[in-house]
Every structure is written in C-alpha cells, then in structure tokens.
C-alpha cells in the first residue's frame, strides 16, 4: 500500500507528467512569463467551463476576494457578512480593507452559512454578503440572492473549495458554483480541487462593467499603460501556473468524480454508526468534496487522531478555532457562546484523507483503523 496522505499531489502529477513538463518547458523557452498566451487560453477555457462571461486570473484566492471587494467599491465602515466557520482569508480581506466583518453562524448539517442568520445580521451599513462554499458544496444561493436583492447587497461567492460543483436552482436550472452572485472567487492553491504548482487564483463575473473594473484593479488600477485611474494592486497568475492549469482543467470533472467516489466509500463505511455523522449533502448542490468531514459523537478526537497517525493515517481539523474566537479577530460584539453551531463543530469535526488518488486498499485501511478506534 502506498503511503496515505491528506492530499497526494505527486501521484496525481505522475499521471500527467509528460504534458505538464512539456508545457512548463515551453513557457520557459518562450520567455512569456507574464500574461503570456497560456494565461489568456486558461481564462477562455475557464470561462467556457464555468459558462460565465468573464474570468480574471489573479495571484491567489485571497487576492481574488480582496480585488472583488475593491472593484465593488466597498468603503471603510461598510459591513460585510460572512460565516464564522471558514478559512481566515474570507474575513481577513474584509478587515484589511477597513470594512467591518459581520460574522454569522452556519447550518449544523451542511456547515454552510445559514441564510436565516444572514438576514438577521443586516443593518443599514451592510453592503455585501460573502457565502463560502465550504468543503465542496454550495451555500444556499437561492435564499442568499433573494436576501441580497431585497436589501440591495452585493454577493461575493468564495468558491475556493467548490470549483466544478453544480448549484441546482429551485426552478430546476443549474449553474456552476461561483457564477451565481455578482462576483465569484477561487484559489488554485495546490491542494484545492483545481490546483496549480504554486499560487494562483481567479475572479468570475457575468457583469461586463464589473469585469472591466476588476481587470483594472489587478493591474495597478490602469487601463491604458502608465495611466492609473485608481489605486489597484499587482495580482497576476503567472504563465507557468496557467500552463499547468490548462493541462489540469480538462481533468477537473474526473478529479471531482474521484473525490466523490472516495466520499461514497467513506459514507458507506461509516453509515449509521452511532459515533460518526457522515457529511450531509445539501439538496441544492452537488458536492465536490474538497474535504471529507465527519462529526464525532462521544469520541476523544485527539486520541483518535494520534491513533490514526500512529498507523500512518493523517487526519486534520478544519477548522479548530472559529473566526470570532481567533486572537486577531477579537471583537466586543462576539463572545464565546455567540455562535453555538460553529462552537460545537470546531470541537466535533475531523477531516479524513481526501484527494483524487485514494486507492481501495488505502480506503479499506482507513475504514478499518477508524472503526477499530471508535468501536473499542
């Protein structure tokens, strides 16, 4: 049996090595390191895949969120609502821009931002909502878009974890995750569902004027070279990363299918176990399993993790501390006990190895080991 990893990037690379190596060498030979043809080709290919009018590549998923908020013209003092159960980047950029992060609790079954809590958190200062498509499935966008419309708010989808997932609208129509709000963002960090071999990110929108603004912001606020209409940033996807992504994008659906089949295996292995709650799949979204996250009931989580680690099985806690309990995000508005669902989840969740290369014998071993511990 191969070593079990949380994410096995090397085995995935081995399968596409000849094409990727060739593509990377070609970029080096062309010297088109910045904004070369690979970047444009990737933009066009991702627009087609997502069925969205505009993709603007950028340097990483955190920049993507920051640029989206800058392009929407959000100003210091504006309130932006997001979930307290997420990766820090979502709230970090809000705070960094001098906007006020307004945190809300999540749904206990899906871990996704709770639209009821979003509606309750709206004040006259609220300008935007950032739903996070956590662990690989979409937040309830029908409800979030309805709340946004009623209150005249922007919606920025943080789609770093659910690229390729399908959102299933109430009327039966489908849309790719990240293309429903006013703007969507993603990350191509190596371990994401569509990862490059370094940093990368992108912003999506169907709004032509907003896309033009985003293109300006990522490029030092300029449209015409050396004429700076506004303060921007420098955030680019480099050509080598784009070349890699061009080889991997055609495989994204098969990568997501491989994650789904590993998740199906785990679901079956742990179904109806009194101490294990398998991930609940939302009705309004497919699940592309960026993470496979169990909820533990009456299990000593630290002891379980040590037990698994001793057998060579990694396991992680995403996320051990809610944003409102983080040192950097202390705020008198939020005390311990404020977000009971998230505060329960942070002590209950455990994420198992999840990637595109999990073999049957590895899954068998993970299953047997985990069941041995919880049944003892």
Parallel, antiparallel or unpaired: strands 154-158 and 183-187: parallel
Contact status, residue 88 vs residue 265, Cβ threshold 8 Å: no
Residue 356: HSE in the Cβ half-sphere, 13 Å Cα cutoff: 23
Q: How far is the CB of 249 from ligand PLP (least distance, A)?
A: 17
3 state DSSP class of 216: helix
Please write down the HEC assignment for all residues of 339-356. Answer: CHHHHHHHHHEEEECCCC
What is the C-alpha to C-alpha distance for residues 141 and 178, in angstroms, rounded to an integer? 10
Radius of gyration of the chain (CA): 21
Closer residue to ligand PLP, CB minimum distance, 160 or 214: 160
Q: Which stretch binds ligand PLP (CB under 6 A): 4-12, 32-40, 55-63, 264-272?
A: 55-63
Residue span 56-95 as binding mask against ligand PLP, x where in contact by CB under 6 A, dash where not: ----xxx-----------------------xx-xx-----
Q: How far is the CB of 373 from ligand PLP (least distance, A)?
A: 28
**Whose Cβ is closer to ligand PLP: residue 89's or residue 153's?**
89
With contacts defined by CB under 6 A, how many residues of the chain interact with ligand PLP?
15
For ligand PLP, the closer of residues 78 and 199 by Cβ is: 199
Residue of 13, 189, 197, 265 that binds ligand PLP (CB under 6 A): 189
Q: Which of 55, 112, 155, 160 binds ligand PLP (CB under 6 A)?
A: 160
Helices (H), the chain: 9-30, 37-50, 61-71, 89-96, 115-120, 141-151, 208-217, 239-248, 252-270, 301-310, 340-348, 360-375
What's the DSSP call for residue 293?
Answer: E
CA angle 89–114–294, rounded 5-degree value: 75
Number of helices (H) and strands (E), helices first, in the chain?
12, 12
Minimum distance from residue 129 beta carbon to ligand PLP (Å): 15
255 binding ligand PLP? (CB under 6 A): no
Buried b (16+ CB within 10 A) or exposed e, 321-341: ebbbbeeebeeeebeeebbeb
Beta carbon nearer to ligand PLP, 46 or 276: 46
Q: Does 161 bind ligand PLP (CB under 6 A)?
A: yes
Q: How far is the CB of 187 from ligand PLP (least distance, A)?
A: 3
Q: Binding string, 102-141, against ligand PLP, x = CB under 6 A? A: ------------------------------x---------
Question: Applying CB under 6 A, which residues contact ligand PLP?
Answer: 60-62, 86-87, 89-90, 132, 158, 160-161, 187, 189, 199, 201
């Amino acid at each position: 049996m191969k070593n079990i990893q949380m994410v096995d990037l090397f085995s995935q690379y081995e399968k596409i090595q000849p094409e990727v190596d060739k593509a990377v060498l070609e970029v080096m030979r062309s010297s088109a390191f910045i904004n070369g043809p690979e970047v444009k080709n990737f933009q066009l290919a991702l627009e087609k895949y997502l069925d969205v009018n505009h993709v603007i590549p950028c340097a990483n998923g955190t920049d993507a969120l920051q640029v989206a908020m800058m392009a929407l013209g959000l100003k210091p003092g504006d309130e932006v609502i997001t979930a307290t159960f997420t990766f820090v980047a979502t709230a970090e950029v809000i705070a960094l821009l001098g906007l006020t992060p307004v945190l809300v609790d999540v749904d206990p079954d899906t871990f996704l931002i709770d639209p009821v809590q979003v509606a309750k958190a709206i004040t006259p200062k609220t300008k935007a909502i950032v739903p996070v498509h956590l662990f690989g499935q979409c937040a309830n966008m029908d409800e979030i878009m309805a709340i946004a419309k009623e209150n005249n708010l922007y919606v920025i989808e943080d789609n770093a974890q659910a690229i390729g997932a399908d959102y299933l609208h109430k009327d039966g129509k489908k849309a790719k995750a990240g293309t429903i709000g006013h703007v969507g963002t993603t990350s191509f960090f190596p371990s994401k569902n569509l990862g490059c071999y370094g940093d990368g990110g992108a912003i999506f929108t169907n709004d032509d004027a907003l896309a033009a603004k985003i293109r300006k912001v990522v490029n030092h606020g300029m449209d015409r070279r050396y004429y700076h209409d506004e303060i921007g940033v420098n955030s680019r996807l480099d050509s080598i990363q784009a070349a890699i992504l061009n080889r991997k994008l055609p495989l994204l659906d098969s990568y997501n299918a491989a994650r789904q089949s590993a998740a199906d295996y785990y679901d079956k292995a742990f179904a109806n176990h009194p101490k294990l709650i398998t991930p609940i799949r939302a009705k309004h979204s497919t699940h592309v399993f960026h993470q496979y996250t169990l909820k533990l009931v009456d299990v000593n989580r630290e002891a379980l993790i040590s037990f698994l680690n001793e057998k060579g099985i990694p396991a992680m806690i995403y996320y051990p501390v809610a944003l409102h309990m983080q040192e950097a995000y202390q705020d008198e508005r939020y005390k311990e006990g404020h977000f009971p669902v998230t505060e329960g989840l942070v002590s209950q969740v455990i994420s198992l190895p999840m990637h595109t290369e999990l073999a049957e014998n590895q899954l068998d071993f993970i299953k047997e080991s985990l069941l041995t511990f919880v049944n003892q």
